[in-house]
């Protein structure tokens, strides 16, 4: 049930050049001010508790038709207050509160173009976007945005370079002034006063993804460009119809990490759900014929070691049924893997019986997760979307993992960046077409998430991360222990992540030198610390049976939540999360640490009154990710909300707990 209170305050304020117009957050702690400089330049600034956070920063857009960065006059200002609570289809919590003040600044350019700038002030941050209403100008060619964030100090930022393929990089921290490369959005900023900022965008559609670079002391937006027929960047960034609203530019301003990870500004900036009947959208844990290919025990293409055979799929499905896993993914079931030229999404290999397996899935009550790898040929995929999704729907398949393994994808507009305007359009078409066929999407090699799952909740999860598979084959030996302790505060802040946790066997003699940099308990902790409503249980069935008492946690942990909270953490060092299973009284707690062992305290004050049964999976006293990764203990006892757990995490370790 939605509870909505909406108060509108309509005001028209005519303000002369140089005069301020300010909007406050609902609790009055944050203020966002707007002004026009003498030459008609639009600027804004942000203060918290009266102290400046962002100094006067430029606004506007450079377009081929008009330089919309100066020569503006102010037509008026409207403001309104919004208070609303809405219910998620799935998520880290059931209900989300959206309380903000909004200010719309109406501008007219010297060329006659009318542009609005809409600001929203939340207690934990702010956002702005540009909007063009119906007018004489019908189309604009965007060359870039002038939008910038002029932070008042040289804070330290976590980022990856914008040209990182598929966003699969290791996040690094450095002062903003040392960030010489253009960065992907988002970035997470550790401010000098101990507070935090998270800079990203929301509601990206029919527009290129933003990137960020430091110039003249300001953090500026660089839009992903169009490419020419030789895949070289053009000056054009976007072709927008008028009327049109751009994506929101958003900044979370949090007093601590708990407030930052709890912020829902990005979701609140997206439109409400457009799918009337969402009963078919179901969060799931799924296994997969997938890890075997990465460790070279199986192949995607048909042959002696083919993974996606009828017999192997049946083995996985029966294992999933026995152990409470909702679904099984099969990669390599369809023709095209032998040359990566033209994948078919309706023609199985000879050793895959789709009719038999779909009937078996119905009999067992285990879902099949389809897999559609495009090899980056988005145009071909787009041309057969209806045929492909109708085929999957006919066989009872309601979830598909898509893939675009190519640094530049072939769209209907030719070779383009996946996060350019053409790529963004393609991914949106996939999501909307899938919804018509009641199909959920797990998007790999995606555009960075921007909260579209609120509008299209069949967009369940996305990759866009240096995930677990790097630990199977990367020539650098795999991701360092620190990597997973950075992601909850950077990439996962942008949205659900298909990182694929749950490796139970760390050595792989087929690829010497590779290694999962964690203990077994760290892998369990990931199921709580990393949020995804489609959560993969990635390892082979036989590896799980070597540690059945540890696998019990994976069998029990859900992937849809009533409430979620960060208990404690430090970016790049460790984190501890607690989550309440949706529709239950059961809590699940998980922690992970970097290469340093550490002890954490977990107050159970989130529990209601009464006695609970605690099961704790923790690193043994002598555990270590390098020398004793499989050393762990399982303990059980009674607890109440007055108790505090003291838990030791080994180097590269972690823990998991159920509180029922």
Residues catalogued as catalytic = 469
Structure tokens at 338: 């032998």
CB of 150 within 8 A of CB of 57?
A: yes
DSSP codes joined into one string, 364-402: HT-EEEEEEE-TT-HHHHHHTHHHHHHHHHHTT--EEEE
Signed CA dihedral, 173, 175, 180, 184: sign only: positive
Report how far residue 508's alpha carbon sits from residue 488's, in angstroms, rounded to the nearest whole number.
27
Give the residue among 517, 430, 447 at the shortest CA–CA distance from 482: 517
Sequence-distant (6+) residues with CB within 8 A of 380 are: 342, 343, 374, 410
* Count of C-beta atoms within a 10 Å radius of residue 414: 16
HSE toward the beta carbon, residue 513, CA cutoff 13 A? 5
Structure tokens at 275: 């799918």
Kindly calculate the radius of gyration of the chain based on its CA atoms and give it in whole angstroms: 25
DSSP codes joined into one string, 133-173: -S-S--EEEEEEE--EEEESS--EEEE-BTT-GGG----EE
**Which residue's entry shows tokens 């997938």?**
290
Structure tokens at 221: 């937006």
Sequence-distant (6+) residues with CB within 8 A of 199 are: 149, 185, 186, 187, 188, 189, 212, 219, 250, 251
Give the residue among 383, 386, 379 at the shortest CA–CA distance from 412: 379
Return the C-alpha torsion angle 449, 455, 460, 463, nearest 10.
Answer: -10
Max distance between CA atoms of the chain, in angstroms, equals 76
Element of type H or E holding 632? strand 632-639
Residue 284, phi-psi category: left (phi > 0), alpha (psi -120 to 50), beta (remainder)? beta
580: three-class secondary structure by DSSP:
strand
**Which residue's entry shows tokens 């555009």?**
447
Identify the DSSP state of 323. Answer: T
Report how far residue 22's alpha carbon sits from residue 252's, in angstroms, rounded to the nearest whole number.
18
Signed CA dihedral, 156, 157, 163, 167: sign only: positive
Structure tokens at 395: 């066989």
Sequence-distant (6+) residues with CB within 8 A of 151 are: 53, 54, 55, 176, 189, 191, 197, 219
Q: Determine phi and psi for 471, rounding to 5 degrees.
A: -75, -15
Q: Determine phi and psi for 254, rounding to 5 degrees.
A: -115, 145
Identify the DSSP state of 560. Answer: -
Give the residue among 174, 173, 175 at the shortest CA–CA distance from 153: 175
Q: How far is CA 491 from CA 167, 261, 438, 581, in A?
A: 9, 11, 28, 23
Q: Cα 299–526–579 angle (5° rounding)? A: 135
Report how far residue 249's alpha carbon sits from residue 201's, in angstroms, rounded to the nearest whole number.
5
């Amino acid at each position: 049930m939605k509870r909505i209170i909406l108060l509108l305050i309509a005001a028209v304020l005519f303000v002369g050049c140089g005069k301020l117009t300010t909007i406050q957050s609902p609790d009055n702690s944050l203020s966002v001010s707007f002004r026009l400089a003498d030459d008609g330049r639009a600027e804004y600034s942000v203060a918290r508790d009266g102290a400046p956070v962002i100094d006067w920063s430029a606004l506007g857009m450079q377009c081929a038709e008009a330089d919309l960065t100066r020569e503006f006059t102010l037509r008026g200002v409207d403001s309104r207050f919004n208070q609303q609570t809405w219910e998620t289809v799935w998520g880290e919590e059931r209900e989300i509160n959206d309380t903000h003040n909004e200010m719309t600044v109406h501008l007219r350019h010297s060329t006659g173009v009318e542009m609005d700038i809409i600001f929203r002030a939340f207690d934990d941050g702010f956002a702005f976007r540009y909007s063009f209403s119906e007018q004489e100008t019908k189309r604009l060619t965007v060359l870039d945005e002038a939008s910038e964030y002029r932070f008042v100090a040289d804070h330290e930022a976590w980022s990856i370079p914008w040209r990182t393929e598929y966003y699969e990089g290791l996040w690094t921290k450095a002062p903003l002034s040392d960030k010489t490369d253009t960065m992907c959005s988002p970035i997470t900023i550790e401010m000098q006063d101990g507070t935090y900022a998270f800079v990203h965008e929301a509601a990206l559609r029919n527009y290129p993804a933003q990137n960020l670079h430091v110039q003249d002391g300001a953090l500026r937006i660089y839009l992903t460009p169009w490419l020419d027929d030789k895949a070289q960047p053009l000056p054009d960034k976007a072709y927008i119809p008028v009327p049109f609203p751009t994506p929101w530019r958003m900044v979370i301003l949090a007093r601590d990490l708990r407030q930052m990870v709890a912020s829902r500004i990005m979701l609140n900036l997206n439109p409400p759900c457009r799918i009337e009947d969402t009963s078919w959208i179901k969060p799931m844990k799924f296994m997969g014929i997938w890890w075997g290919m990465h460790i070279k025990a199986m192949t995607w293409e048909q042959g002696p070691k083919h993974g996606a055979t009828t017999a192997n799929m049946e083995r996985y499905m029966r294992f999933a049924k026995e152990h409470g896993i909702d679904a099984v993914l099969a990669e390599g079931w369809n023709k095209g893997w032998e040359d990566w030229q033209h994948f078919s999404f309706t023609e199985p290999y000879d050793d895959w019986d789709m009719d038999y397996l779909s009937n078996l899935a119905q009999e067992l009550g285990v879902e099949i997760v389809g897999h559609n790898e495009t090899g980056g040929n988005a145009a071909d995929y787009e041309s057969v979307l209806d045929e492909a999704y109708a085929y999957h729907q006919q066989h009872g398949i309601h979830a598909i993992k898509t893939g675009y393994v190519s640094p530049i994808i072939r769209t209907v507009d030719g070779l383009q960046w996946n996060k350019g305007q053409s790529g963004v359009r393609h991914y949106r078409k996939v999501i909307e077409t899938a919804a018509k066929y009641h199909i959920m999407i797990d998007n790999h090699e995606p555009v960075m998430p921007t909260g579209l799952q609120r509008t299209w909740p069949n967009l369940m999860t996305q990759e866009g991360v240096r995930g677990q598979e790097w630990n199977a084959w990367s020539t650098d030996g795999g991701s360092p222990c620190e990597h997973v302790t950075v992601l909850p505060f950077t990439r996962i802040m942008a949205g659900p992540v298909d990182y694929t946790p749950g490796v139970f066997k760390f050595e792989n003699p087929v690829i010497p030198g590779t290694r999962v940099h964690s203990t077994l308990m760290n892998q369990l902790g990931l199921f709580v610390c990393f949020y995804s409503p489609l959560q993969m249980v990635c390892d082979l069935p036989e590896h799980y049976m070597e540690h059945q008492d540890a696998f019990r946690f994976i069998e029990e942990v859900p992937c849809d939540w009533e409430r979620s909270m960060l208990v404690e953490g430090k970016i790049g060092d460790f984190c501890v999360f607690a989550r309440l299973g949706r529709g239950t009284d059961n809590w699940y707690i998980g922690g992970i640490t970097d290469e340093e062992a550490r002890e954490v305290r977990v107050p159970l004050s989130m529990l209601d009154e009464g006695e609970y049964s605690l099961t704790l999976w923790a690193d043994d006293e002598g555990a270590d990710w390098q020398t004793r990764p499989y050393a762990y203990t399982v303990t059980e006892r009674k607890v109440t909300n007055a108790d505090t757990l003291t838990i030791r995490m080994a180097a590269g370790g972690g823990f998991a707990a159920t509180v029922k």
